[in-house]
Amino acid sequence: MIDPIVEEVRKARRRHAQRFNFDLHAICKDLKKKEKNCGHPIKSLPPKLLLKETSQDLNT
């Protein structure tokens, strides 16, 4: 099933990536710039600590 909204988002993402020659660092830099200038409050959360899996966890 093709969802037209998902397809529209993918096309927009593809066009944005093409503007930066698919350079992930340049894309992220641009998105951070847009985020900073959007006028909305931005909340940065600390990274979550992941618990290491043990062999016992895998057997449950």
Round to whole Å and give the CA distance between 53 and 60: 11
Q: What is the pLDDT of residue 55?
A: 61
**12 close to 4: Cβ distance less than 8 angstroms:** no
60 domain-assigned? no
31 domain-assigned? yes
22 domain-assigned? yes
48 domain-assigned? no
Give Rg (Cα) of the chain.
19
Instruction: Give me the domain span that covers residue 26.
Output: 1-40
Query: Whose structure tokens read 């006028």?
Result: 39
- Terminal Cα-to-Cα distance of the chain (whole angstroms): 36
Domain count, the chain: 1
Q: What is the pLDDT of residue 54?
A: 65
pLDDT, tens only, 22-52: 999 999 999 999 999 999 998 889 988 888 7
